[in-house]
A = this chain, B = another copy of it.
Amino acid sequence: MNEYFENHRKSINNKLDELLPKSSQKVGNLFSAMRYSMLNGGKRIRPLLCIAAADSISSSNEATVVAASAIEMMHVYSLIHDDLPSMDNDDLRRGIASCHIKYNEATAILAGDALQALAFETLSNIKSLSYENHLKIIKILSNNIGCSGMVKGQALDLDTTYKPSSREELDEMHRCKTGALIEASVLIGAVTTQEMTDSQEFALKNFAQKIGLAFQIKDDVLDVESSTEAMGKLKGSDAHNKKCTYTSILGLDKSKAIASKLYSESIESLSGFDERASELKELAKFIISRAY
């Protein structure tokens, strides 16, 4: 990715370092575990989507970076819990031991719980937003990560009796599991500019839904095609866990074709935007072409 992303990734990492509790405070391993899972070189796609969405409207600002950091906390909490033995039972994450392997299960559960709380605390502490916009970002995030969004997706994914057989059912599961937080990232970024029009909101929502699904399909493809080394997590873990993936239900070629079409549609959604949407489009391209 280009300099724009490198710079913003740095500012997000600095903000996260500032917002997370210092591990010098001794609270068992809680604070260390939170920092370990947060500050290990993730791609930061969601916070970058947040910032690029703000820039597509006008300009990202301090509120955007703080909100982007809260979104990454929410994402990492979900990864920590998803990796637990009773869930996906993954020992490896971002190339290093998962939180519950490095520490223990109880610490991993608590670190996730605390990150969710810290994300909301972080959003509530943002300054310089109007009441309407401040409440809107809290509403968007809470609505998209809970039992009608991210947690619902994980519950469907783990439900062995839930067998999505059609493209529509598979889409619904992944709309929740991955799409909801990606949609929240884009919309929240745009709201922090306080300048988004209704038609821009409609377009960004459409963009986010398309690229969110493409993101998940690409993940499924990579789980089959990429190496464990490149992925930073065990290759083929979906097949091992007998997960219903796009590739297992639709096949590898069809999955790639669908992802490619969704990417094109996501770019089309932004047709009403000017050159300020170039970084957001660049991110969409990265999502679909990434090798890890």
Contacts and interface: CB of A to CB of B under 8 A. Distances in A.
B106 A158 contact: yes
A170 interface: no
A286 interface: no
Contacts of A21: 147-148
A168 interface: no
Total copies of this chain within the assembly: 2
Interface string A131-175: 100110011001101111001101110110110000000000000
Size band of the interface chain A makes with B: 35 or more
A120 B142 contact: yes
A104 B131 contact: no
A38 to B, nearest CB: 12
Contact of A113 (B86, B112, B156, B159): B112
Interface in A71-121: 81, 84, 86-87, 104-107, 109-110, 112-114, 116-118, 120-121
A107 B147 contact: no
Contact of A134 (B26, B34, B131, B146): B131
B109 A87 contact: yes
Nearest to A158: B106
B109 A109 contact: yes
Contact of A145 (B117, B143, B151): B117
A14 interface: no
Contacts of A116: 113, 116-117
A26 B173 CA distance: 12
Contact of A27 (B84, B109, B120, B152): B152
A110 B142 contact: no
B158 A146 contact: no
Nearest to A108: B86
Contact of A109 (B34, B84, B134): B84
Nearest to A121: B142
Contacts of A138: 120, 124, 138
9 contacts: A28-B161, A81-B113, A86-B104, A110-B151, A116-B117, A117-B145, A117-B151, A124-B138, A124-B139
A86 B161 CA distance: 26
Given A28-B155, A28-B158, A120-B138, 7 more contacts: A28-B156, A30-B155, A113-B113, A113-B151, A120-B120, A124-B142, A134-B135
Contacts of A114: 146-147, 151-152
